[in-house]
Structure 1
C-alpha cells in the first residue's frame, strides 16, 4: 500500500513538472483563466468530459475549474497519461482511467462519467453524447462541445435528431482546421513517426489516406522533410487539390506496392483493408492518426497473422503466412499520442484549440437558448475573437 502511495505521489509530481512548463507557454488560456475567475460562467455546472488526458488538457481543465466548473471526466482509449491524471486527482478533480485500459474498461469509465449526471458535455468522438441518448437523459443536458471530425460525423449521422441540446463542433472551425489540424497534426504525426520508429523521413515513400485538413498537413510536413508522398482520396475535389499541390494521387491499389509507410487520416472505418495490406512489401509500416482505431483492419490483420510481438514501445511486428511482415504503430490508435513521452499537437495550436473549447462552453453555459439543438459550428464571433488574440501573440513574438 505504501509502495502504491509513493508511486502515485511520484507520478503526480512528474505530472506537475510537465504541466508547469506547458502552462507557462499557453498565454491564450492564461488570459481566459484570469477572465473566467472573475465572471464564473460555469458556477453550478458539472462538465462531463471524455478527452485525451495529457498535459495540455490539464491546462484546459484548470481554466474551466477557475470559471466555476466541476469536472468529472475520463480520457480517450489508449492516450491517457497516468502522471497527468495523478496530478489532477491530487488537486481534487474526479477522473477515471489509465493508459493501459482495455476498450471495455474505457467504455465503463465513460459510463461512470455519465453516472455523475453532468449537465454539460466536453466530448471527443461522440461517446458521451451517444451515452446520454442511450440512457434517455438528454433533457438533463444544457449543451456541450465536440472536439473532432469523427464525433461531428456521429452527431450528424447516427445521432442526428436524437441530440436535443446544442453541441458546438470545434473541428468545424476554420481556425482550428488551419492552426491545429493542418499545422499541428501535420507536425506531430511526422515528429511521432521519427520518435517512435527512429526511421528517417527523407527519401522514404509515404502514402497518406485522406486529404482533409489533417491529411493535408501530414502530406505537406512529410514532403517538407524530404519524404516522397502519395495521397489516396475518394473525394474528387480533394484529390484534385492534392494533385495540384504536387502529390501523386492514386487509389490504394495503385500505391500499395510502392509505399513504405501508410498513414490514415480520414475518420472513416475500413480504409486500409487486408486486400490492400496483401499488396504491400515486406516491412511496410501502418499507422493511424484518426480518432477511432478503425481505419486499419487491425482485427483482421492480427487474425490472419502467424505471430506478432511488440518490438519496442508502440511498435508491433505482425508476421503473415506468406513470409512477409508488417509493422503496426500504437495498435492502430492515434500514434501521435502514443509511445514513450507522447507529445501530441504543439503547445501553441492547443492553446488556440482549447480556447475555442473554453469560449464555446462559456457560450453554452450563458446562452444555450441562442443556439440550436444538435451539431453546429463554432459561432463566428468566437472564431474571430480568438484569431485576433492569436495574431496578437504572434506579432508580440515577431
Structure 2
C-alpha cells in the first residue's frame, strides 16, 4: 500500500472496531451472499465509516463502483478502498464539474443497484434513459427523497428506499448525531465559545432539532426559524425563541441552516445581518446559503486562519443607510460537519445504526425488489424494528 492508503487503513481499523452492528451483518452476509452477481453504484460521502459499509456490502458479494459527494471526499479513504480492489472515483479537490463527471463514471460502470445520496444517481439514470437496467436502490437523505417525490416523481420505475424516512434514523442519526457533530464542528472550525453566544437555527426538522438542543445544552442562546406552523409550535414549546429570519438578522451571532431547501439566506438577509455574523450550513446541498449572491455583493473577501481554510471573511459595502459590515462564511456553505481535511462527521454509533439501515435495505432490494412498489418509499417497518432491537442490545452490552 501507499502511505496514503496505509493512513486510510489505520483510520478504518479504528472505525471498524467500534461498529458492532455492521460487524455482525458482515459475517451474516459472508454466508448468505445476497449481492452475488450484483453491481452497486454508490454516491455517498467517502470517509472511514462509509468504507466499513462498503466492506460489508463487498462481503455479501457486491461489486462496487463508487464516488463521494462534492467537497467531502477524503483522499486516504479513496486510496484505501482502491487498494481493496474497489472502483472508486473522486478526490478532495474535485470541483462541481468534476463531481458530475464522477457521477457519470459510476453510471458508466452499469450498476444494477443504486446507493444514492441527494438523488444524483437516480436523476442520472433517468436522464440517460437507462432506468430499466436498475432493479432498485436506496436514498440516504431527505433532500434526495424530495427530488424523488418532486422532479423525479413518476420517472423512476424501480423502488428507492429513502433511509431518512426512518424514524429510527431520524432520532439516532439526525437529531442526536447531526446535532452533536454540527456543534462539535462549529467549535473545531472556529474555536469560538458556545455559552452565551446567540445562535439562530433555520429549520426545525430532525437535524435542526438536534442542532438547537445541543447548542442550548452547551449554554448557547438559541432561536429557531421555521415556516411549518406545527414545527414552529413544537420549537416554541421546547423553549426556543421562534421568529422570522429577518426579525432575527440583527440579533443572531451565528446562523445555521438545516432545511434541505435552497435560498434560505439570501441578499436581503445579507444586507441586514449583524456585523461579524457567522453563516454555516448543515444541509446536504450547498444551496441554503446563496453564496454566489454573497460574493456578488462583496467588496472583498479573504480566507482566515482556521480549519483548513474553512473560514472566509466576506466584506459587504454600505447600502440603504447602513455602513460597511462583514460576515464569516464557514466551509463555503457546504455541510459544516464534513468540512476540513479530517472531519469527524456523525458519531460512530449513529452511523453503525444508519449504515445498518442501508445494508439491510439494500439486501431487501437485492432479494425482493419485485415485492416493493416503484419510486420513493420508507424503510420497511420490520427492518426498522429489527435494527432498534439490535441497537438496544448493543447499548446494554456496553454497560
TM-score (structure 2 length as normaliser): 0.97
Secondary structure of 2:392's partner?
Answer: helix
Q: d(CA) in 2 for partners of 1:373 and 1:297?
A: 34
Aligned to 2:199: 206
Alpha-carbon contact 2:4-2:79 (below 8 Å) kept:
yes
Structure 2: distance between partners of 1:364 and 1:205: 45
The residue correspondences of 1:376-391 to structure 2 (distance < 5 A) are 376-391=377-392
Distance in 2 (alpha carbons) for counterparts of 1:339 and 1:187: 17
Partner of residue 314, structure 2: 318
Q: CA deviation at 1:276?
A: 1.0
For 1:163 and 1:341, the matched residues in 2 are separated by 36
What is aligned with 1:253? 246
1:46 lines up with 2:47 in the alignment: no
User: What is the aligned counterpart of 2:170 among 172, 177, 182?
Assistant: 177
Structure 1 residue 306, shift from structure 2 partner: 1.1
Say which SS state the counterpart of residue 386 (structure 1) adopts.
helix
* Whole-Å separation in 1 of the counterparts to 2:47 and 2:297: 34
Q: Residue 4 of structure 2 contacts residue 75 of structure 2 at CA under 8 Å; is this kept in 1?
A: yes
In 2, distance between residues paired with 1:174 and 1:391? 15
- 1:1-398 to structure 2, matched below 5 A, reads 9-312=2-305, 313-322=309-318, 323-398=324-399
**1 CA distance for matches of 2:91 and 2:330?**
19
Q: For the residues of structure 2 that align with 1:303 and 1:104, how far apart are their CA atoms?
A: 21
SS in 1 for 2:160: strand
Q: CA deviation at 1:171?
A: 0.2
**In structure 1, what is the Cα distance between the partners aligned to 2:81 and 2:90?**
12
Name the CA distance, whole Å, in 2 between partners of 1:29 and 1:70.
18
| CA distance in structure 2 between the aligned counterparts of 1:359 and 1:309, rounded to whole angstroms | 46
Q: Which moved more, 1:273-282 or 1:294-303?
A: 273-282
How many angstroms apart in 1 are the aligned matches of 2:354 and 2:70? 20
Deviation at 1:153, TM superposition (A): 0.1
CA–CA distance in structure 1, aligned partners of residues 312 and 374 of structure 2: 43
Q: Which moved more, 1:275-284 or 1:263-272?
A: 275-284
- Tell me the alpha carbon deviations over residues 321-377 of structure 1, each in whole angstroms, 9 at most, x when there is no partner: 122111100000001000142000000000000000000000000000110000000
Q: Distance in 2 between matches of 1:197 and 1:13?
A: 30
SS at match of 1:278: helix
3-state SS, counterpart of residue 65 of structure 2: strand
Over the residues paired in the alignment, what is the CA RMSD in angstroms?
0.7
2 CA distance for matches of 1:347 and 1:236?
34
Contact 2:199 2:253 in 1 (8 A): yes
CA–CA distance in structure 1, aligned partners of residues 187 and 288 of structure 2: 21
Aligned length: 391
Q: Secondary structure at the match of 1:308?
A: strand
Distance 1:10 1:206 in 2: 41
Query: Higher mean Cα deviation, 84-93 or 307-316?
Result: 307-316
Which residue is 2:321 aligned to?
none
Q: How far, CA to CA, are the matches of 1:11 and 1:265 in structure 2? A: 33
Compute the TM-score of the two structures, normalised by the length of structure 1. Answer: 0.97
Distance 2:354 2:52 in 1: 12
Structure 1: gaps (5+ residues)? 1-7
Q: Tell me the distance in 2 between the aligned counterparts of 1:120 and 1:275.
A: 43
- Superposed CA deviations along residues 179-232 of structure 1, whole A, max 9, x for unmatched, are 000000000000000000000100000000000000000000000000000000
What is the rounded CA distance, in whole Å, between the counterparts of 1:33 and 1:91 in structure 2? Answer: 16
